[in-house]
């Protein structure tokens, strides 16, 4: 029996046209955007059009992606689609939890908004994507250098390190790497340096009601499927300081018998990561209503 996973991309997959198709082809989109604007104080439609904020700034990126991905989830469910597992990459985990009905849209949006505010305000950190390296050499360099961690384990040949700028540079000086790409972020995301922000975020998280997931969820910090609301909340509490274990997520999905996945959201970043890690899982992009309608 074919098993399907729904995967949700995170920050970096956004683009100005990502709302356009939904606004013209999915009637509930406009009302959802109005609902979101009442919470956020700004319109995702105006943000994508360049009239408000900056879509590539964390403060605006994260809520905008959550809104787009939640709309695609609703459209899929309205057409009877179901998942065997859900997972999201960093911010995408919030859309995965919405898909699994762990929380409603407004709760998810408020969490994402606060997360974005805290991450946007973070400072004194640096993140660099590494492509083409010796993993053992990298692990040894990180282990011998304080204040730097492996933040994103994206696929066997690509990771992101995160930490204090001097520590990140020290690691780069200890290893051979084909390509090192500094990320345009405000802080050392997915590292212990986010502890203060994570503690502040935990206060809001504790006030939110989480429900048992209708689809098993694989969390970033612990890619072991669960539907338990308390476990999911505990894992989410650790997400801001913990690593995104995407390679392990892909292997866990394959081990569970997943052969097909939908990348729900703009772009095809996750399709590339899955292909390089578990090529036996075929990934289909669901970024527009046209692509969605062709599946269901």
Give the residue numbers annotated as catalytic, written as ranges: 90, 190
Spatial neighbors of 219 by CB under 8 A, at least 6 apart, are 87, 93, 226, 232, 235, 236, 239
3-state class (DSSP) for residue 115: helix
CA separation for the pair 273, 250 (Å, rounded): 9
Angle between helices 92-99 and 229-237 (to 10 degrees): 170
DSSP 187: S
User: Between the CA of residue 205 and those of 97, 120, 238, what are the distances in Å?
Assistant: 13, 18, 11
Cβ proximity of 259 and 283 under 8 Å: no
- CA-wise closest residue to 240 among 118, 69, 95, 59: 118
């Amino acid at each position: 029996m074919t098993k399907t996973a729904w995967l949700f991309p995170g920050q970096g997959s956004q683009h100005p046209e990502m709302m356009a198709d939904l606004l013209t082809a999915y009637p509930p989109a406009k009302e959802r955007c109005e609902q979101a604007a009442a919470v956020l104080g700004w319109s995702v439609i105006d943000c994508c059009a360049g009239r408000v904020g900056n879509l590539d700034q964390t403060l605006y990126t994260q809520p905008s992606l959550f809104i787009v991905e939640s709309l695609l989830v609703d459209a899929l469910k309205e057409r009877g689609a179901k998942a065997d597992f859900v997972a999201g990459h960093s911010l995408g985990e919030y859309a995965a939890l919405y898909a699994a009905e762990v929380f409603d849209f407004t709760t998810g949006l408020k969490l994402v908004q606060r997360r974005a505010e805290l991450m946007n305000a973070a400072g004194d950190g640096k993140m660099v994507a590494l492509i083409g390296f010796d993993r053992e050499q990298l692990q040894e360099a990180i282990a011998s250098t304080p204040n730097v961690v492996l933040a994103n384990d994206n696929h066997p040949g690509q990771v992101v390190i995160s930490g204090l700028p001097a520590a990140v540079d020290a690691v780069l000086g200890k290893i051979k790497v084909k390509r090192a790409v500094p990320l345009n972020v405000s802080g050392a995301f997915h590292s212990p340096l986010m502890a203060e922000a994570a503690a502040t975020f935990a206060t809001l998280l504790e006030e939110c009601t989480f429900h048992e997931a209708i689809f098993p969820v694989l969390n970033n910090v612990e890619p072991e499927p669960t539907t338990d609301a308390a476990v999911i909340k505990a894992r989410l509490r650790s997400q801001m300081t913990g690593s995104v274990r995407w390679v392990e997520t892909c292997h866990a999905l394959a081990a569970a018998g997943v052969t097909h996945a939908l990348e729900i959201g703009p772009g095809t970043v996750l399709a590339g990561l899955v292909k390089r890690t578990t090529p036996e899982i075929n990934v289909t992009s669901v970024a527009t209503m046209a692509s969605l309608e062709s599946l269901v």
